[in-house]
Amino acid sequence: MTDLSLRQLYRPTHDENARHRFVGALKGYANGALEASLDTLYTRQIEPDFRARNGRAPADREEATPLFESEPLYQLWGSMVYASQDFMWQSVGETCRRILPAFEARAARTSGQAGGTLTLSPSLPLPEPIASTHIHRQPGGYFASHDTHALLTGLLYFGTVELYRAAKGLSANAPVGEPGMARYILSVIGKHYPDLKPRRILDLGCGPGTETVGLKQAFPDAEVHGLDLSAPFMRFAHAWAEDLGLPLHFRQADARDTGYPDGHFDLIVSHILCHETWHDVLPAIFAEAHRLLAPGGLLLNADVPYQPARLSVARQVTNHWQVRNNGEPFWTGFADTEVPALLASAGFGEDEIHASYEPLGAGAYYFFGGRRGRASATRRAAA
C-alpha cells in the first residue's frame, strides 16, 4: 500500500466534498449577498424610520442593534450564519474523524524525519477568558487535548481552512494546506521592506502551523519558529512540518512571555492572532515582540480590517452579533482598539510604526507593527 503523506491523506470523499461545497456556498451567500442586503435595509428603512422619530441617525452600533433585532431579514441572516457554522463543524468533523487513524499513523512514522522540534509546556497556565472560549464554536475549542486523538484539534481547524479555500475557488490549482496567507504576508513585507533578509523568524499565534511552513519555504536558510498557546495545535504543526520534510521549531507558550532571548528574531509575524486574543493583552504581546526583535528587525501583524470607521452601521451590528453568538468573542474588542498607540507604548518609536491596509482579492487586511531602529516607510498616517 502506498504510504500517503498527510497532505495526500486530507481528501474528502465525493459525498463529503458535496457537503463541504454546500456549506461553503451557504456561508458565501449568508456572509455575502444576504449580509449586504442588511445595508440596504438600514439605509432605506431602519435609519429613515429612526430619523423620523428622533431627528437624527442612530449614534452607534449599540443604538442600532435593537432596531435590527425585530427585522425578519436580520433574523434570517443570523439563523443562516449560525446554522452554517454548525453544518461546517459537522461536515468537516465527519471527514477529519474518518481520516484521523491513518493521519495519526503516518504522523507517528514521519515524526523526527526533518529535524524540527516540538516544545510543550504542560504546566503553562491557560489564561482566561481564552481557555474556556470555544473560538469559532470549534467543538472542544483550541485547547482540547483529545487524549487518544492528539491531532484532532488541529485537523478540525485545518479542515475548515480547506473548506473556505474551496468555497473561494482557491484550492483548484493549489495543493491541500497551501500557505497562501503566508505568501500574501510575505508579499506585503517585500513591498514595504524589500531589504529585509531574516535569519531567524517567529510566527506568533501560529495555530496549526500550515502558514509557518510558507515562511520557511520563502526563506529556506532561516531558522523558523512557531509559537502558540495551544498544545494540540503545536502537535499538529510539528507533525505537518515534519511530514513535509521541513525543520521548523514549535513551542507552546503565551505570546506575552515567550521564553526566547532578547533580540532573537529579525522578523516576527502574526496572522489573525490579535483578534483571537483579548485586546487588553495586546500591549504585553507587543512589548514582548519589541524585546525579541534584533536591531532592524520587523514585527508585522496581519488581521481583520473591521475598524468601525471603515464599516457601515449594518456591518458593525452584524460583526458584534458574531461576538455575542458565533464564537468570535474578541472581534470587536480588537476592532475598537487603537493599535498604533499600543505599539508606541510597547516601545516602537513613532517613526518606526507600521500601519496600512493592504488589498486581498475584493477586500483588504490590516497590517500593523514596527521596525526596530528604522523609520517605517508606511507611517500611522497611511492607516
Q: Of 181 and 201, which has the nearer Cβ to ligand SAM?
A: 181
Name which of 34 and 135 has its Cβ closer to ligand SAM. 135
- Please count the residues of this chain forming the interface with ligand SAM, following the rule CB under 6 A: 20
**Site stretch for ligand SAM (CB under 6 A), options 57-65, 248-256, 303-311, 338-346:** 248-256
65/322 Cα distance (integer angstroms): 12
- Per rule CB under 6 A, is residue 238 in the interface with ligand SAM? no
**Residue 74 near ligand SAM by CB under 6 A:** no
Stretch that binds ligand SAM, among 2-10, 200-208, 216-224, 365-373 (CB under 6 A): 200-208
Residues of span 120-159 touching ligand SAM by CB under 6 A: 130, 142
Nearer residue to ligand SAM within complex by CB, 193 or 233: 233
Specify the residue, 222 or 284, whose C-beta has the smaller distance to ligand SAM: 284
Closer to ligand SAM at the Cβ: 61 or 235?
235
Alpha-carbon distances, residue 36 vs 29, 32, 64, 74, 127 (angstroms): 10, 6, 16, 11, 36
Residue 233 is a binding residue for ligand SAM (CB under 6 A): yes
Quickly tell me which residue has 487603537 as its cell.
338
Alpha-carbon 78 to chain mean position: 22
CA separation for the pair 8, 195 (Å, rounded): 36
Q: Which of 206, 244, 267, 304 binds ligand SAM (CB under 6 A)?
A: 206
Does 340 engage in binding with ligand SAM (CB under 6 A)? no
Phi/psi for 357 (5° steps) reads: -100, 130
**Whose Cβ is closer to ligand SAM: residue 23's or residue 234's?**
234
Cβ closest to ligand SAM, residue 104 vs residue 228: 228
Q: Which of 35, 47, 242, 276 binds ligand SAM (CB under 6 A)?
A: 276
Using DSSP bridges, classify how beta strands 200-204 and 223-228 pair: parallel, antiparallel or unpaired: parallel
What is the grid cell recorded at 256? 506575552
Pick between residue 130 and residue 292 the one whose CB is nearest to ligand SAM. 130
- Is 177 a residue that touches ligand SAM (CB under 6 A)? no
Q: Which residues contact 251 (CB under 8 A, 6 or more apart)?
A: 119, 121, 225, 226, 227, 234, 258, 259
Among 213, 255, 299, 346, binds ligand SAM (CB under 6 A): 255
252 touches ligand SAM by CB under 6 A: no
* DSSP annotation string for 121-178: -TTPPPPTTGGG--GGG-TT-S----TT-TTHHHHHHHHHHHHHHHHTT-STTS-TT-
Give dist(CA 241, CA 110) in Å, integer: 10
Please tell me the distance from the alpha carbon of residue 259 to that of residue 280, in angstroms, as a whole number.
21
Question: Where does this chain touch ligand SAM (CB under 6 A) — which range of 56-64, 71-79, 206-214, 237-245?
Answer: 206-214
In angstroms, give the least distance from the CB of 270 to ligand SAM: 6
Of 97, 106, 137, 136, residue with least CA distance to 16:
97
What residues contact 196, with CB distance under 8 A and at least 6 apart? 189, 266, 267, 298
CA distance 190 to 193: 5
Instruction: Kindly indicate which of the ranges 21-29, 112-120, 254-262, 336-344 contains the residues binding ligand SAM, using the contact rule CB under 6 A.
Output: 254-262
Rule CB under 6 A: is residue 225 a binding residue for ligand SAM?
no
The residue with cell 427585522 is 71
Residues that bind ligand SAM (CB under 6 A): 130, 142, 181, 205-207, 211, 228-230, 233, 254-256, 271-273, 276-277, 281
